């Protein structure tokens, strides 16, 4: 990691500590929200891969009148205004569990999930593609018409295929990398708006 990247990481780490966020990741969702006006107070939001809870803390602040449901295979310390479900997105019928607190579905589905990286770039990319496809499958069951989804993936050969999958289901699709995501990291976020089902 370069000196500049290390400094950037430390800067966000310190900022998160000072501002009471559990992870630097909170700034990624904040910056994407500021750029794309992602969140409206009152939304029903599903936060997949939520632990340790930086994104959930942000949701708690900007969506206090809505419903925030967080899911992770790992435990997560309580966040005010957030309903946590411990679970794996690959569980059969996970959609039935996430629909329990919000039977009419969600306005926004977020996924910051990353499997343990192996260091093998193409394998890591394939895993992230597989996760994003699963999140799309979950959207088919839980995302409301015209809803939005924001999904982390690792940029590579499969990114265009994933973008094409999003385009089949969303009216508008963007690929974005917030400033707090380190430039050397291949992570990018795909945003779909106007879900058609």
Ligand X SMILES: C[S@@+](CC[C@H](N)C(=O)[O-])C[C@H]1O[C@@H](n2cnc3c(N)ncnc32)[C@H](O)[C@@H]1O
Question: Which residues are marked as active site?
Answer: 152
CB of 196 to ligand X, least distance (A): 26
Question: Footprint of ligand X on this chain (CB under 6 A)?
Answer: 22-23, 25-26, 49-55, 71-74, 88-90, 112-115
Q: Which is nearer to ligand X, 115 or 164 (CB)?
A: 115
Token pair recorded at residue 9:
């990481």
Question: Could you tell me the smallest distance in angstroms from the CB atom of residue 50 to ligand X?
Answer: 6
Closer by beta carbon to ligand X, 89 or else 98 = 89
Any idea how long the chain is?
197
**Residue closer to ligand X (CB basis): 5 or 160:** 5
Smallest separation, CB 162 to ligand X (Å)? 17
Cα separation values, 38 from 97, 133, 184, Å: 24, 21, 25
Whole-angstrom distance, CA of residue 152 vs CA of residue 132:
7
Nearest residue (CB) to ligand X, 85 versus 175:
85
Q: CA 81, CA 46: separation in Å to the nearest integer?
A: 13
Q: What is the dihedral of CA 87, 91, 93, 98, to 10 degrees?
A: 20
- State in angstroms the smallest separation of the CB of 2 from ligand X: 22
Alpha carbon 138 to chain centroid, angstroms: 13
Beta bridge partners of 192: 149, 173
**Residue 5: φ, ψ to 5°:** -65, -45
Determine the Cα–Cα distance for residues 95 and 89; give it in Å rounded to an integer: 9
């Amino acid at each position: 990691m370069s000196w500049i990247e290390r400094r950037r990481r430390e800067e966000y780490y310190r900022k998160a500590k000072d501002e009471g966020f559990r992870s630097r990741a909170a700034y990624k969702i904040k910056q994407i929200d500021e750029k794309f006006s992602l969140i409206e107070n009152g939304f029903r939001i599903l936060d997949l891969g939520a632990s340790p809870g930086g994104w959930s803390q942000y949701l708690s602040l900007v969506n206090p009148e809505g419903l925030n449901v967080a899911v992770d295979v790992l435990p997560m310390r309580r966040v005010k205004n957030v309903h946590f479900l411990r679970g794996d997105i690959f569980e059969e019928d996970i959609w039935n569990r996430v629909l329990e607190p919000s039977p009419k579905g969600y306005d926004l589905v977020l996924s910051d999930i990353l499997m343990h990286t192996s260091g093998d770039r193409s394998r890591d990319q394939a895993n992230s593609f597989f996760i994003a496809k699963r999140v799309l499958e979950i959207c088919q069951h839980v995302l409301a018409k015209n809803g939005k989804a924001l999904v982390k993936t690792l940029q590579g050969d499969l990114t265009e295929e994933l973008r094409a999958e999003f385009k089949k289901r969303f009216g508008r699709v963007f690929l974005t990398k917030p400033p707090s995501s380190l430039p050397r990291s291949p992570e990018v976020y795909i945003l779909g708006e106007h879900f058609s089902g």
